[in-house]
A and B are shown apart, each in its own frame.
Chain A
Amino acid sequence: MVKVAVLQFPGSNCDLDTLYVLRNVIKLDAELVWHREFKANVYDAVVLPGGFSYGDALRAGVIAAYSPAMKHVKEMAREGKPVLGICNGFQILVEAGILPGALVRNDTLTFICKWVYLRLENNKTVFTWKGKVGQVLAMPIAHNEGKYFNDEKGLKELYENEQVVFRYSNINGEVTPEANPNGSLDNIAGICNVERNVLGLMPHPERAAEVILSPYRTKDGLLIFEAMAEFLRGKGVATSRWS
């Protein structure tokens, strides 16, 4: 049976929500793992949940990025296992160099907590192969440092390698400046690695995985977890198909 880890750092606070979705909604064998006890070879996938690891000291995610656990996460990423970073988890993946770019302070200079719309830009990943390009998903964001940044060369590479997975849009899927909550470059909300088995995103799919949680009676966040679960159970298309 496949086993999924939800990696805990001091200050993680979306760990239980994520675990709940994996266990109770998706029915996967999942467990919380303290970062010092984490071993790559025990798990088939790992989720880095949201929160404020190490109190966001220095930069959000940077201290967790140097935890020995991240060597194991890197190993899993290299082996093609699904690695999902949500919010602070995304920040950690970026600081660890597993995903490119930077996540900096919102243009508003405020913490933003609200529901947004996302346009799916790439459905050739472990986490989005069940969706359609152009599909609009509703999910909440809750962050202070969620503005995605990369230099010109980095942005070009992201598009060349089809690494842009989600962009902030309006309800019609139009990617406009008005739909950009935090000043992210090109409205980028989530990206994957070149191999498409690592996804990082600022919005919270675990908070949008059941109808009861959504102001729109949607459960769009489920798409990501279902795609990962079916991939793990062998029903999904193989990663090699996209390379």
Chain B
Amino acid sequence: MENKSAAKDPEGETIMRELMHRNGFETVRKVRTGKYLRIEVEAENKEKAREIVFKMCNDLRIFNPVIHVCSIREADV
């Protein structure tokens, strides 16, 4: 999950400006920070697992829809 593109990301801007640009990587155009949760769920298949995680992310407010965008990617365990 990360901030919506309309919302500023001061941490990403600081990393880009003060760390990357200042140390020779001036070609970096954009840095957005975010948070990554690796979730293992018991499910019959990937689609079911995705459904569980999708529901959980919304029900438990894992992200704040006002400011965050959230994406779900499946992988084998």
Residues of A whose CB lies within 8 Å of any CB of B are 54-55, 57-58, 62-63, 66
**CA–CA, A63 to B22, complex, Å?**
10
Residues of chain B within 8 A (CB-CB) of A57 are 10-11, 14-15, 18-19, 33
In the complex, the number of residue pairs spanning A and B with C-beta atoms less than 8 Å apart equals 25
Contact partner of A54 (CB less than 8 A), chosen from B14, B23, B33, is B14
Residues of chain A within 8 A (CB-CB) of B22 are 66
Which residue on chain B has the smallest CB distance to residue A58? B15
List 17 additional A-B contacts (Cβ < 8 Å) besides A54-B18, A58-B14: A54-B14, A55-B10, A55-B11, A55-B14, A57-B10, A57-B11, A57-B14, A57-B15, A57-B18, A57-B19, A58-B15, A58-B33, A63-B14, A63-B18, A63-B19, A66-B22, A66-B23
**CA–CA, A54 to B22, complex, Å?**
13
Residues of chain B within 8 A (CB-CB) of A62 are 19
Residues facing A in B1-43 (CB within 8 A) are: 10-11, 14-15, 18-19, 22-23, 33
Instruction: Tell me how far the C-beta of A169 lies from the nearest C-beta in chain B, rounded to whole angstroms.
Output: 36
Chain B, interface size category, equals: under 10
Q: Are A58 and B23 in contact (CB-based, < 8 A)? A: no
Residues of chain B within 8 A (CB-CB) of A63 are 14-15, 18-19
Residues of chain B within 8 A (CB-CB) of A66 are 19, 22-23
Instruction: Tell me how far the C-beta of A92 lies from the nearest C-beta in chain B, rounded to whole angstroms.
Output: 13
Which residue on chain A has the smallest CB distance to residue B16? A57
**CA–CA, A66 to B25, complex, Å?**
13
**CA–CA, A57 to B19, complex, Å?**
10
Of A54, A55, A57, the most chain B CB neighbours within 10 A belong to A57
Which residue on chain B has the smallest CB distance to residue A11? B14
**CA–CA, A55 to B19, complex, Å?**
13
**CA–CA, A73 to B19, complex, Å?**
18
A-B pairs with the 6 shortest C-beta distances?
Answer: A57-B14, A57-B11, A63-B19, A63-B18, A58-B15, A57-B15
**CA–CA, A66 to B14, complex, Å?**
13
Instruction: Tell me how far the C-beta of B33 lies from the nearest C-beta in chain A, rounded to whole angstroms.
Output: 8
**CA–CA, A66 to B33, complex, Å?**
19
Q: Are B10 and A58 in contact (CB-based, < 8 A)? A: no
Residues of chain A within 8 A (CB-CB) of B14 are 54-55, 57-58, 63
Of B14, B22, B33, the most chain A CB neighbours within 10 A belong to B14
